[in-house]
């Protein structure tokens, strides 16, 4: 099962991908998570990516394509993977096709999550993430039992530096301009499965499982 989650910032790609990981045992491959880890470690990759991410702009294609090429070759991706936040431009999608072709594989479904813009802004400005295990919360929609503490592992919750309203607006416009054309790209291949991303997290998950099974 080779899947792509496509949708604007805050649509719930990460939330739903993590639930699919638990259900199907295939890994979530998030270029955003990989880049944030590199920034936190201060590696060369992190130094390259930091200013783009803080400005809400895309990291250059060649950088993320290289990351994905390496990642998909790892053994845990053999049975499938869930791409979250990649591809984000047409050149990235074309590069992905080439990488998969070399591996004798292809994308099975592109799951699009549709959520109105005002809701996206509410979701992102209230998001909190666990430093230790990456679990995601929302201060209103999905609060942890104790404020600032992860339910799953007791880790400390933090707010992403790009989740302030100004940067969120810039991410949304980058999505409109550079990423939304991918819906057309994958529609031409007959791969798009449209999902209504509004409503309860669990109900959205049920919709996704229905499509996959």
Contact 192, 5 (CB under 8 A): no
Q: How far is the CB of 162 from Zn ion (least distance, A)?
A: 20
Structure tokens at 89: 């431009």
By beta carbon distance, the residue nearest ligand AP5 is 32
Which of 29, 111, 135, 182 is the binder for Zn ion (CB under 5 A)? 135
Q: How far is the CB of 200 from Mg ion (least distance, A)?
A: 19
Q: Which DSSP helix (H) or strand (E) runs through 113?
A: strand 109-114
Q: How far is the CB of 202 from Mg ion (least distance, A)?
A: 18
14 binds ligand AP5 (CB under 6 A): yes
Residue 201 dihedral angles phi and psi, to the nearest 5°: -55, -45
Reduced to 3 states (helix: H, G, I; strand: E, B; else coil), residue 192 is strand
What is d(CA 213, CA 209) in angstroms, rounded to the nearest whole number? 6
Q: Which of 154, 164, 157, 163 is nearest to 142 (CA)?
A: 157
| DSSP for residue 85 | S
- String of contacts with ligand AP5 for each residue 138-177, x by CB under 6 A: x--xx-------------------x--------x------
Residue 56 binding target from ligand AP5, Zn ion, Mg ion, none, CB below 5 to 8 Å by type: ligand AP5
* Residue numbers at the binding site for Zn ion (CB under 5 A): 130, 132-133, 135, 150, 152-153, 155
């Amino acid at each position: 099962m080779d899947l792509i989650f496509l949708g604007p910032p805050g649509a719930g790609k990460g939330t739903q991908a993590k639930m699919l990981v638990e259900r199907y045992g295939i890994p979530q491959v998030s270029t955003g998570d990989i880049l944030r880890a590199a920034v936190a470690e201060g590696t060369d990759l992190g130094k390259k990516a930091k200013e783009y991410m803080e400005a809400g702009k895309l990291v250059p294609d060649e950088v993320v394509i290289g990351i994905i090429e390496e990642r998909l070759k790892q053994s845990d991706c053999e049975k499938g993977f869930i791409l979250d936040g990649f591809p984000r431009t047409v050149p990235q999608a074309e590069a992905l096709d080439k990488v998969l072709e070399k591996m004798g594989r292809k994308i099975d479904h592109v799951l699009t999550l549709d959520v109105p813009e005002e809701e996206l802004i509410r979701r992102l400005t209230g998001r909190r993430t666990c430093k230790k295990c990456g679990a995601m919360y929302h201060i209103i929609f999905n609060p942890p039992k104790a404020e600032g503490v992860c339910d799953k592992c007791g880790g400390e919750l933090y707010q992403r530096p790009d989740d302030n309203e100004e940067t969120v607006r810039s991410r949304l416009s980058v999505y409109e301009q550079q990423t939304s054309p991918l819906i057309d790209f994958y529609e031409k291949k007959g791969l798009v499965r449209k999902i209504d991303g509004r409503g309860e997290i669990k109900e959205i998950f049920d919709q996704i499982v229905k499509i996959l099974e």
